[in-house]
Amino acid sequence: MSIIRRTLQNEILRSARAFSAIILTGPRRAGKTTLLKNLFPRASYHLLEDIDVISRVKADPKGFLQGVATPAILDEVQNVPEIFNYVRTLIDADPEKKGRWFLTGSQEAPLMKGVTESMAGRAALFQLMPFSLKESRKVSLLHGGFPEVVARPGQASVWFRSYIQTYLERDVRAVSSLRNLGTFRRFLSLLATRTGQMLNRTDLATSLGVSVPTISEWINILEITAQILLVQPFYENLGKRLIKSPKIYFVDPGLACHLLGIESMSAMKNSPFLGSLFEGFVATEIVKTQVNNGRRRELYYFREQQGLEVDFIIPSGPGQLTLLEAKASQTITPAMAAPLLKFQSFVTKYKTTAFVVHPDPQEKTFSGLGQKIHALPLSNLSETVLANKL
């Protein structure tokens, strides 16, 4: 597979000239190592995942680092978090040398703890997600954006099956004392059926016969390992009784499709989950655009108890909001804009711009959707996010 340019690489290169260390997190197999090796081909490479390497580093982290030629890529550093203190010591010994250490990890929370305690002010932090549509037009709702699946979509089913097994064995057990892998696998599949829905831990616990704290732990594991995206509700004093639970999406739509047993476009088009999967695709494309361009990750939804719901709300400047409805239909009708119009009618203290996002790249702008409401092809979503400073 030829190297596909990652949007995030400009931010990384810029930061490598200003910081001694770069820390790159993201889900396993998103392309972190490939990106760093491509950007810094002269850097020595060290995978901190093999048992013998981990044992050697834990026994003598200082001695290990003394034998590492810089610049250096230290891959999967969450396995040896004690190494942060020793990297910090080496940075402080020669703070004028920039771009010396490139650290990657597939478990964001443990890494962030290490950075907070040891590397504050010395490292630039980034998250790399699977390919976005902006990076590769081969990214799709059915197959998602993991580089290896994009390169060989015909092997998607085998790849995802192996990915789940590896993920369960390595990452999940690394952050949890999980014993019943079978129940956790069923949890993943059940969670896929809840894509685009508000997170209801009690419902999940009842369906699986486990406790609510167990569900909370498993949700936390999926967040730590960057497998799911929780979209929080939009809080404002709007005089409404609002729903305050987050909505849940998988970071990669291809993984969600695999968990649901959807393996073809014909099955996708006939699936009752088509709408929620497309909604999740829109959510992750928004977040990828924000993260890849060095912007804050800000994405919310709105729902009141009377039933009014807006799929996505993004602050786009002081007193400004961008509203998005995600519709998998090829035909955009005025009825699809109704929630946006109703929301605009009572949120008068904000200037709002609204879009109905749809999958058809041929469609442009539709009249009759309402004032300042436009139909937006998914392929143009990234440019719109950037143009509206979202």
Provide the residue type at 357 as one letter: V
Q: Which of 260, 339, 263 is nearest to 303 (CA)?
A: 339
Provide the residue type at 41 as one letter: P
Cβ-Cβ contacts under 8 Å for 259 (sequence gap 6 or more) = 164, 188, 189, 191, 192, 250
Please state the pTM of the whole predicted model: 0.91
- Predicted confidence at residue 367, as pLDDT, reads 47
Q: Which of 101, 125, 116, 126 is nearest to 31 (CA)?
A: 126
- Predicted confidence at residue 42, as pLDDT, reads 96
Burial of 76 (0-12, 13-18, 19+ CB in 10 A): buried
Query: What is the number of residues in the chain?
Result: 390
What does the alpha-carbon distance between residue 215 and residue 113 come to, in Å, rounded to a whole number?
23
Eight-class DSSP state of 359:
S
Rounded to 5 degrees, what are φ and ψ at 87?
-65, -40
What does the alpha-carbon distance between residue 31 and residue 72 come to, in Å, rounded to a whole number?
17
Burial of 2 (0-12, 13-18, 19+ CB in 10 A): exposed
- Predicted confidence at residue 255, as pLDDT, reads 97
What does the alpha-carbon distance between residue 96 and residue 115 come to, in Å, rounded to a whole number?
19
- Predicted confidence at residue 105, as pLDDT, reads 87
Q: DSSP per residue over 86-142, as a string? A: HHHHHHHHSTT--S-EEEEES-HHHHHHHIIIIITTTEEEEE-PSPPTTT-TT-BTT
Q: Both ends of the chain: CA-CA distance in Å? A: 32
What does the alpha-carbon distance between residue 133 and residue 292 come to, in Å, rounded to a whole number?
12
Tens place of pLDDT per residue across the chain (390 aa): 578 999 999 999 999 999 999 999 999 999 999 999 999 999 999 999 888 999 999 999 999 999 999 999 999 988 888 888 899 999 999 999 999 999 998 877 666 666 767 777 889 999 999 999 999 999 999 999 999 999 999 999 999 999 998 887 777 777 777 777 889 999 999 999 999 999 999 999 999 999 999 999 999 889 888 899 999 998 765 555 566 789 999 999 999 999 999 999 999 999 999 999 999 999 999 999 999 998 889 999 998 877 889 999 999 888 889 999 999 987 888 888 899 988 888 888 889 889 999 997 654 445 456 567 888 999 999 988 887 654
Structure token digits, residue 360: 């058809």
How many Cβ atoms from other residues are within 10 Å of residue 71's Cβ?
A: 18
Domains, the chain, ordered by start: 9-127 (3.40.50.300), 147-227+246-276 (1.10.10)
Eight-class DSSP state of 198:
B
- Predicted confidence at residue 370, as pLDDT, reads 59
